[in-house]
Every structure is written in structure tokens, then in C-alpha cells.
């Protein structure tokens, strides 16, 4: 189980290698994604709170990256955070998420990205439920439910 200490270690010392890499040009991503999905996933945008498709969804299933299909989260780790974005306590695998320090907007946070294709997912915070204490705050538009 990942902890906040692990997240900080990855964000400062380097991330685990992904199982595979998907690399495409900006033009290729633009051709595959609609404008809003491109803005959030490739330009690090954020969808409006409480507007996402999976914000209030708690049915069993798995969630993958909207851009490359890599499995990222399981609904068994999803919880109601009352933040307006889907929240998870753990990724499905340690190497499915990439962690980067984000100093934008006058804050210091840890950005989460798909470790396979660098899709911007959201941010992770140390204010989630036990036992991990983590809250992976994810844009619905960055993920898709598989089952």
C-alpha cells in the first residue's frame, strides 16, 4: 500500500518505470481527443467541481486512462470525498501513476499523471481515509470506466 512518504519519494527522486510507454505528438493527441478532453488531459486543465461523469458514481468497476487505456484505479478504492471530483485511496499498481511536484497557482501540490502516456489526471493529497491516508483527486474526463 502506498503512503504519503512514498508519493513524496516518487515526486522528488523519480517514479517507477511503467509497464509500457505511449508517446504521441500534440497533433496526434488533438486528432484523437475532443477539445475539452485535450485541454484537461494534455494541457493540465481541470474540469469544474461536481461536473464530471464519475463524481457521484460508485458502481463496481475499474477505471483506465482516457488517452491510452492503461488501468489506473479500482472502484473498491473509490470514496466520497465531497470535493467535487472522483477520489481514490490507491492506484491499481504502484507503477501506473507518475508523480510530479506542481508549484502552479501559488501552491505546492503533487500532480498525478498516467505513467504510460503522461495524461494529466489530477493531484494527490495526504487527507484521505485510513489506512493509506491518500486522496487521489481525479478529473472524470481523464479516466473511463471499463466495467
Provide the annotated active-site residues: 137
Tell me how many degrees the CA angle 31-34-38 measures, rounded to the nearest 5: 85
The cell for 18 is 511503467
DSSP conformation class of 85: S
Phi, psi (deg, nearest 5) at residue 17: -70, 140
- The answer to whether 86 touches 143, Cβ cutoff 8 Å, is yes
Q: Give the DSSP per-residue string, 22-35.
A: ----HHHHHHHS-H
What are the residues whose beta carbons fall under 8 Å from the beta carbon of 101, sequence distance 6 or more? 11, 12, 108, 109, 110, 111
Amino acid at each position: 500500500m502506498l503512503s504519503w512518504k512514498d508519493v513524496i519519494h516518487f515526486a522528488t527522486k523519480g517514479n517507477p518505470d511503467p509497464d509500457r510507454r505511449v508517446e504521441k505528438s500534440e497533433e496526434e493527441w488533438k486528432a484523437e481527443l475532443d477539445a475539452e478532453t485535450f485541454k484537461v488531459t494534455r494541457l493540465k486543465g481541470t474540469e469544474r467541481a461536481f461536473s464530471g461523469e464519475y463524481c457521484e458514481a460508485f458502481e463496481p468497476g475499474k477505471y483506465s486512462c482516457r488517452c491510452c487505456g492503461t488501468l489506473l484505479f479500482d472502484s473498491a478504492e473509490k470514496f466520497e470525498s465531497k470535493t467535487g471530483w472522483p477520489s481514490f485511496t490507491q492506484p491499481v499498481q504502484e507503477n501506473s501513476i507518475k508523480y510530479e511536484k506542481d508549484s502552479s497557482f501559488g501552491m505546492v501540490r503533487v500532480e498525478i499523471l498516467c505513467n504510460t502516456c503522461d495524461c494529466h489526471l489530477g493531484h494527490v493529497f495526504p487527507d484521505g481515509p485510513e489506512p493509506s491516508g491518500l486522496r487521489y483527486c481525479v478529473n472524470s474526463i481523464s479516466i473511463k470506466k471499463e466495467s
